Each structure stands twice: as C-alpha cells, then as structure tokens.
Amino acid sequence: AESIDLQPLLQRILAAAVYAVDAADKGGLVLADGEGTLRINALTGYRDNRMQGLRFSLDRGYAAWSYREGRALLVDDVQADPELAYTGEIEELRSIKSAIAAPLIVRGQVTGVIGLDNVQRNGAFNEDDLSVLTNIAATAALVLERARLFEEMNTQARQMAQIMQAAPQGVLLLNAGGQVMMANRVGTRDLSILADAKVGDVIERLGDQPLTNLFATPPTGPWYEARAGNRTYEIIARPISDGAAPEQWVVLIDDVTHSRQVRQQAQL
C-alpha cells in the first residue's frame, strides 16, 4: 500500500511561510512525537546538521509554549525571556532575536507548531505577520489530517484484503455501479465462471442473477441461488455502509455444486 511522505509537503509549506513573511530569516516545523517532545520535521535557513530531527521538551521554548497553549505567539525579544530562549549547544538557535509561532490544530488537538525566526533584530515581526503564519498553520494542519485519513484508509484496505484472502468462499468488493474493486483468490475464480470477468470490470449479473436482485433484500432467506453452466452457487450481498444508497457492497459466493451432488446421491 502507498503512504504519504509528509516531510516534502511540510517543507514546501514552511518555505512558503518564510517567503510570505518578509521579516523571516529562518523557520522550522515541529510535530509532537508521542513521547512528550516536539521533533523537527522541516527546516529552512538553518545549516547545522544537528538540527535535523532535533527534539525539544514541552516545557521550554516558544514552540513548546505555542503547543501547550494552543495559541499563536509573537516574541519581540527571545533572549530576554529565559523560558523561551534556547540554551543548548547549537549556535544558530542561540542567535535568534525575535520569532513568531502558530500551532497546527487537527480535529481540536494540537499536533505541532510552525515557527519563523529573525536573527538580525528584536521586534522584527508584527501582528499581520502572525496572522499570515496562523493561516499557513491551518493549511499545514489540513495536510496532516488528510495524511492521517489516507493512512487510515490504507490500514482498513489492508485489513479487508487479509480478511478476504483468508475466507474459504469467494469474496468480491463491488461499487454501486457494479465495478469489481477487489476479489480474493477464490472470488477471482468464481468471477470468471459466473460473469466471465476480472477485477476492474463492470458486471451486471453473477450467473443467472442480476446484480439488482443481489443488491436487494432476498425475499426468502439471506442467500440467492445462481447457476453458471453445470455449477451452482449461493450468493449474498451486503452493503458496507448503512446509507440509503450504499457506495460499496461485499459479495460472498459459495460454490455448493459438490455439496448439492452429495446430497442428491444420498437421497437416491
């Protein structure tokens, strides 16, 4: 399954922020790492390689303040406030004079902070700059949310594929238009016999049963009987969603040809 590489996306957003705010010399974007620290995920203007992936505690620094408070912050003189100033070994960070920071908020939760720095003078930024950065932070948060949804969908797709492949019966995933989106190994074989089709094709029936019948509640019992050549199948279709017009259906196909033959012979 595909996954989104966030770093290039966040890097472009950060570069756009530096370009949009004239007073910005440098900038960084940090994300919460789930371990009680903020980790640098994107940088611009900084040269010290030690900053790549650098982690900051949540109790010091203006990025940590913005993260904790969930609010944007304008700092005219970073070095004047010991709670905001960096005191570590990296000279580039110790040289910051003024800064602005804005939180990345996804579904009401702060997930990171984007910050812009000026190393030349105090009071370099104003409220307009802070407003611009806040809007850019909202864009970055949207990117993160879409990435999360993408990964969630990928996880669900992988889980569904695993379930489908483990099923002894044929399993198909169809959209409302009858296109076959997925099939397990047995389902691929059954699909070829029942509809002379493969994954990706649009079908109108399975054997002698139209999809319109399968997509409706059976009049008697949960299964429909379908025939193709000398083979007999029992088929059931169920919507994935509970809406009035489901977009996807799971179709379970059971080849009962052999069991029917055994039953008939037993009755002789």
Average pLDDT of the chain to the nearest whole number: 88
Q: How far apart, in whole angstroms, are the C-alpha atoms of residue 164 and residue 173?
A: 9
| CA pair distance 94, 17, nearest whole angstrom | 22
Per-residue tokens: 219? 């009049």
Q: Which whole number is the average pLDDT over 1-21?
A: 81
pLDDT at 243: 63
Least confident range from 16-25, 122-131, 155-164, 227-236: namely 155-164
**CB-based contacts of 173, cutoff 8 Å, min separation 6:** 160, 164, 180, 181, 182, 183, 248, 249, 250, 251
E strands, the chain, in order: 26-32, 37-44, 55-57, 73-75, 98-106, 109-118, 170-175, 180-183, 205-206, 209-210, 224-228, 231-239, 248-255
Q: Which is more confident, 265 or 44?
A: 44
The answer to whether 79 and 61 have CB atoms below 8 angstroms apart is no
**Predicted confidence (pLDDT) at residue 1 exceeds the cutoff of 70:** no
H or E stretch covering 129 = helix 127-166
SS3 state at 233: strand
pLDDT of residue 187: 93
Name the residue among 14, 18, 8, 73 with its Cα closest to residue 43: 14
* Residue linked to tokens 């199948």: 233
How far is Cα 27 from Cα 16, in angstroms, rounded to an integer?
10
Q: If you search the block for the tokens 């008697």, which residue do you land on? A: 220
Give burial (CB, 10 Å; 0-12/13-18/19+) of 98. buried
CA distances, 60 to each of 43, 54, 109, 137, 243 (Å): 19, 14, 20, 21, 49
Nearest-10 crossing angle of helices 127-166, 6-20? 170
Residue 78: pLDDT over 60: yes
- Of 171, 152, 169, the C-alpha closest to 161 is 171
What are the residues whose beta carbons fall under 8 Å from the beta carbon of 6, sequence distance 6 or more?
A: 41, 143, 144, 147
For residues 78-87, average pLDDT: 90
Share of the chain above pLDDT 70, in %: 94
Decide if 41 contacts 29 (C-beta within 8 A). Answer: yes
Q: What is the pLDDT of residue 157?
A: 72
pLDDT, mean of residues 112-128: 96
Is the pLDDT confidence value at 94 over 70? yes
Domains of the chain with bracketed CATH? 6-154 (3.30.450.40), 167-267 (3.30.450.20)
**Over the stretch 195-251, which tens digit does the pLDDT of each residue have?**
999 999 999 999 999 998 888 865 455 788 999 989 999 999 888 876 667 788 889
pLDDT in tens, 164-175: 777 889 999 999
User: Does the model's pTM come out above 0.85?
Assistant: no
Could you report how far apart the first and last alpha carbons of the chain are, in Å?
Answer: 52
